[in-house]
Structure 1
């Protein structure tokens, strides 16, 4: 799950730490990530979560505290806050516990102030899960990496492939008329076969496709990430696939680039530039809150106090966010954004990209270019520019 980080190139730096923070980061989050358990029933070889074998369970009091916080954040109106249930496998909690955690949000959902989404491996989804998800209006995202051969690294704790169980869950969603999106981790193997990957994903009946090119995050640091040349070729072929198949589901990354280009064309680009980064408060099962990147949750980092910004059992989210400018890693991230703005030719589109990638690759948030930047931001823009030049020359 990657939200589009944006901020304004026109804002001058300010010496006031709080004012500087608010010039980059919105004070009302668009989404709140809840991690009701770190446990996952799968053991994918590229997973970034260090605690995916630990069976934690979010107490009901934490969900209630988050619901009170969201009620405060939405009291003045505005669009609904998306509550994203994520990492490890949220459905591993079981239906009874998951329903209990959803219950505190029901009054807010009835008023249109929250909207639920869950990212799942789908292996546990059946008719009764579909009934629960439908009853609470939960939007479903399924993690699947393509056909059987490309999905081989998604295995359970005994090493058995999860592919058939994932398909069974997807079939249950389709049978119950529940729309779903898919997110695929693109490995070095699937990077060279995007058409086969996209054909397969589109045939599943999903409403949209997200493509996460494999990156270094958390404990996933051993595999080589794709280089820029291969990534440009990948996105060029994805662009061609999408152009030649207009009736297929939209690709998330192409949609984001298209939104930016439409704003440039229509003269509304300042809206892109003036939007601020989402702080993305992520609440762990304990109630601890980290900001800027869900991947930072449960990451040991003594120099940054494990990225803890507070705990919802002790402070509401609004109070935690009000003091966010005091956090060392947040301050470093703002410096990193300044560095990107002054030194990167792709900044106008990517707006500074992802906080977590900076830390996992460089050990600091002040760094600029990352493998994620090259593979997903720079390569996509370059592929689109190359395609345009070829079309013009023809």
Structure 2
């Protein structure tokens, strides 16, 4: 991580606005998703992984899951939209099926009432028939991490350095055999930025329901690798757009869907709804019960100046109580300053809405910073690629 950049001055409105009012202007009162990290351990050791504790077998006690379920019950209403419970980081299935089922059990009354909906992000190497039965019984939506065909997936290896590709495909085949829909997320680094068509052809052939493309970022302990530049990522997204246009029946690409939603809302006059949408606080609960806000990547990060980003612990406070005091946290206040700075000076702000908190910190050492590599590669580059494509289509 770089040395902290000098804090940028707050706007006059931010200086005059009460901290809680300012927080509520930017951050939603009720989370749309809660991330649970049931274990820090991962059975893979991918070269770009950001998790510092992926070799440590820390397991979430049942009491933590029970406390989160009680908290979510406070935050949801019958008939309202469900809170998405995302099981993520390191490899959730490394817990074993029996322990994972125990952690799901406290949420079952809420799930049966339509108040929560589970999702798991997995490397798929451990998926078998019994896991599929568990996913089906609890309505767990599955996301699979795979970076493309064998050559593009080479950085996903196990702890002995062996490629994980065949094991990932075997897990995906098992999902398909049991009729379980799944999405895929691929990390796109400099090595495979120039092969989007091969990547997308392969991912579409897996039978997934959607595709997410994460341009490699500097975060967590993955800070030494160079990130792609703007020129290369504009070209990448232009080719992704062209591929999507040429394959209308292919699974949707998450990032293109988001841009399409923004453009449709601009066209039909509902864009103020996009602009008025507040950031999800994204409470992320570690195995210990500690809670961080705004960015799951901040969990397990050592940062003495911010008390390691701890906002509270669910064994001592409910999520509602933790969120009620979130405006008092120094890093949250810094992030709000960063959002004000973005809105004041960035031409892409109407679309991106200030982007990701974690990237600001890992790249600049402060949340008040504005532009990040993530902004350039995933927000700005996508908009510029779409604009270039539109101009070319119009000229033709």
What range describes the TM-score normalised by the shorter chain of this pair? over 0.9
Residue 77 of structure 1, CA deviation: 4.9
- Could you tell me which of 25, 28, 32 is aligned with 1:26? 28
2:190 corresponds to 1:188: yes
Specify the alignment match of 2:315 in structure 1. 313
Q: 1:138 aligns with which of 126, 137, 140?
A: 140
Aligned to 2:283: 281
Question: Which of these residues, 219, 225, 228, is aligned with residue 226 of structure 1?
Answer: 228
| 1:238 alignment partner in structure 2 | 240
Equivalent pair of 2:78/2:114 in contact (CA under 8 Å): no
Cα RMSD for the two superposed structures:
1.0
Alignment counterpart, residue 346 of structure 1, candidates 345, 348, 363: 348
Check the 8 A contact 2:14/2:337 in 1, yes or no: no
Indicate the SS of the match to 2:377: helix
Deviation string 1:307-341 (CA, Å, 9 cap, x unpaired) is 00000000000000000000000000000000000
Specify the alignment match of 2:177 in structure 1.
175
Between Structure 1 and Structure 2, how many residues are aligned?
A: 384
CA distance in 1, matches of 2:149, 2:131: 24
Unpaired runs of 5+ residues, structure 2, are 1-12
Deviation at 1:187, TM superposition (A): 1.0
**Alignment TM-score, normalising by the size of structure 2:** 0.96
> In the alignment, what sits opposite 2:115?
113
Residue matched to 1:255: 257
Unpaired segments of 5 or more residues in structure 1?
1-10
Paired residue for 1:93, among 95, 99, 117?
95
Match of 2:3 in 1: none
Task: Name the CA distance, whole Å, in 2 between partners of 1:20 and 1:300.
Answer: 27
Displacement of 1:78 in angstroms is 2.1
Alpha-carbon distance in structure 1 between the residues aligned to 2:313 and 2:171: 34
CA–CA distance in 2 between the matches of 1:12 and 1:270?
21
Name the residue aligned to 2:388: 386
CA contact (8 A) 2:84 2:117 kept: yes
- Distance in structure 1 (CA, Å) of the matches to 2:75 and 2:29: 9
CA change 1:251–1:13 in 2 (3 A) is farther
Confirm whether residue 54 of structure 1 aligns to residue 49 of structure 2: no
Does the CA contact (< 8 Å) of 2:35 and 2:86 recur in 1? yes
Shift of 1:75: 3.4
SS at structure 2 position matched to 1:150: helix
Aligned partner of residue 65 in structure 2, secondary structure: helix
SS at the partner of 2:190? coil
What residue is the counterpart of 2:369 in the other structure? 367
Matches for 1:66-105 after TM superposition, within 5 Å: 66-75=68-77, 77-105=79-107
C-alpha separation in 2, matches of 1:93 and 1:366: 37
Task: Name the CA distance, whole Å, in 2 between partners of 1:196 and 1:381.
Answer: 22
Note the alpha carbon deviations across 1:280-321, whole angstroms, 9 max, x for none.
000000000000000000000000000000000000000000
Give the match for residue 323 of structure 1: 325
Contact 2:78–2:115 (CA<8 Å) still a contact in 1?
Answer: no
Equivalents in 2 of 1:76, 1:330: separation in Å? 30
Q: Contact 1:14–1:20 at 8 Å: present in 2 too? A: no
Residue 79 of structure 2 contacts residue 114 of structure 2 at CA under 8 Å; is this kept in 1? no
Q: Which residue of 1 aligns with 2:360?
A: 358
Q: Distance in 2 between matches of 1:14 and 1:47?
A: 41
* Offset of residue 13 of structure 1: 7.4
Shift of 1:12: 8.0
Aligned equivalent of 1:5: none
The yes-or-no answer on 1:297 pairing with 2:293 is no
Distance 2:291 2:16 in 1: 27
- 1:217 maps to 219
